[in-house]
Amino acid sequence: MLRSGGLNTGSSDLLSARRRGSVRLAGAVAVAITGLAVLGRNSDPAGKPLPAAVTLGAAIALTGNANLYGQDQRVGLELAQRWFASTPHPRPVRLELEDGASDEPSAIAAFNLLIGRGVIALIGPTLSQQAFAADPIAQRQGVPVVAPSNTAQGIPQIGSFISRVSAQSSVIAPLSLDEALERDPQISRVAVFFAQDDAYSTAETAIFQKALAERGLTPVSVQRTQLADNDFQNPITAALQQKPQLVVISAQAVDGGNLIRQLRELGYRGQIVVGNGLNTPNIYPICQRWCDGVLIAQAYSPDLNTPINQTFRRLFQDANGNRTPGQITAQAWTAYQVLFEALQRLQKRGEMDGVTLGEARRRLMQEVLAGHYDTPLGPIHFRADGEVVQGRFYVAEVTMEANGRHGSFRLVRSFDVDSDAGGPTP
């Protein structure tokens, strides 16, 4: 039997039967929505009492293009968790890792999942681009976020629950340019490369190019690449036709590492300055001996001689076969440390007893911003808007071993910076 697909069936019985069906359906939907709303309210963990063992949630990139950073962060977080768990503390803290992958929807999903599970605070996400999408969710639900690696402008300004331990690139990026220009004051021709499909790299290249302009240098070539690129023959040969004396790169570890290698192979012998995306030992196996001599400004130096950094470095080397930790790992440790210490201070003052999770989250955020921390990055504290205030930054030079397989970021110079006042001083 065929069914009519037309609008006018000509049957009034059928019409009234349809109306009755529609009313019943609307009623069922209304009941279901009300039920879900009630259930949702009851299952919102913010209204429940704070559990004895509180959980910190970390949403970091364990898969996707940014997983190189996420894996470094996982190492830092797990080392910090083990270390601080072994120190005397009044309130046990658990760590729950969730893969925030390398895109915005995955970071949002990871944040939602962890918040729903009742974490007291969040660490992450890995990329600034993800933070702009996921942080507003934590802000709306009153969950503190400490970002370990978001350096783009405007992250803490997303809201009062958002902070970061990673200094913004506008503070540190120009430091490496100054080092390059001091080594060769005759530099007048600069080529700039940046990954155009990466929010962080495009923001950083703007900072680099502004810093170049302030130093009287106009790029002779600006080449746009993409994160997934691995063959740079075209942009490199185009840039080399302009005979640059300095190359400035804003990219991520893998594409940037390949770019450096191919620049050298195609005959470029001048200085190379790179941005924060290449601030990881993971570039060594990619650009190998060709990494040698690359200049980079850093927020962390393994050479910092403080007890907490010595501890961090020793634990890292014990777990990773004598390798030297990088900035991303140190910042992840620091994010955990900040939250852990703020929690323990609150607990010692009895301010975490008998409160709901929502209230505990609010108090924790205030305590995070109020505290001073002695971290592997050096002493840090926060501005009222959640921006980190770090006193010292570094310029390092990549130094590769003779076999070209292993290397290190050799400290060249450190700069004391008054973040609130602005400019760095060597």
Partner 1 sequence: MSAALLQILLNGAASGGVYALVALGYTLIFSVLGVINFAQGALFSLGGYLTFLLMGGRIGVNGALPGWHLPVALPFWMALLLAAIGAGVVALLVERVAFAPLRRRGADPLLSLITSLGAGVVLVNLLQILMGAEGYAFPAGAAALEGLPEALLIGGARIRTVQVVLLLISAGAVAALTVWLERSRTGQAMRAVAEDPTAARLMGIHSGAIVRLAFLLSGMLAGLGGGLIGLSVSLAGPYFGISFGLKGLAVLVLGGLGSVPGAIAGGLLMGLAEALIPSAASGWRDALAFAVLFAVLVLRPSGLLGRRLQEKV
Per CB under 8 A, residues contacting partner 1 are 62-65, 67-68, 70-71, 75, 196, 221-226, 228, 230-231, 233-235, 237-241, 253-255, 257-258, 261-262, 264-267, 282, 285-289, 320-321, 323, 403-405
Nearer to partner 1 by C-beta: 302 or 424? 302
Minimum distance from residue 286 beta carbon to partner 1 (Å)? 4
Minimum distance from residue 237 beta carbon to partner 1 (Å)? 6
Nearer to partner 1 by C-beta: 89 or 189? 189
Minimum distance from residue 405 beta carbon to partner 1 (Å)? 7
Contact 281, 323 (CB under 8 A): yes
Minimum distance from residue 173 beta carbon to partner 1 (Å)? 21
The 3-class secondary structure across the chain, one letter per residue, is CCCCCCCCCCCHHHHHHHHHHHHHHHHHHHHHHHHHHHHHHHHCHHHCECCCCEEEEEEECCCCCCHHHHHHHHHHHHHHHHHHHHCCCCCCEEEEEEECCCCHHHHHHHHHHHHHCCCCEEECCCCHHHHHHHHHHHHHCCCCEEECCCCCCCCHHHCCCEEECCCCHHHHHHHHHHHHHHHCCCCCCEEEEEECCCHHHHHHHHHHHHHHHHCCCCEEEEEEECCCCCCCHHHHHHHHCCCCCEEEEECCHHHHHHHHHHHHHCCCCCEEEECHHHCCHHHHHHHHHHHCCCEEEECCCCCCCCHHHHHHHHHHHHHCCCCCCCHHHHHHHHHHHHHHHHHHHHHHCCCCCCCEHHHHHHHHHHHHHHCEEEECCEEEEECCCCCEEECEEEEEEEEECCCCCCEEEEEEEEEEECCCCCCEEC
Nearer to partner 1 by C-beta: 267 or 307? 267
Minimum distance from residue 23 beta carbon to partner 1 (Å)? 41
Minimum distance from residue 377 beta carbon to partner 1 (Å)? 22
Nearer to partner 1 by C-beta: 166 or 282? 282
Nearer to partner 1 by C-beta: 66 or 212? 66
Nearer to partner 1 by C-beta: 63 or 347? 63
Nearer to partner 1 by C-beta: 163 or 258? 258
Nearer to partner 1 by C-beta: 109 or 400? 400
Minimum distance from residue 110 beta carbon to partner 1 (Å)? 17
Minimum distance from residue 262 beta carbon to partner 1 (Å)? 7
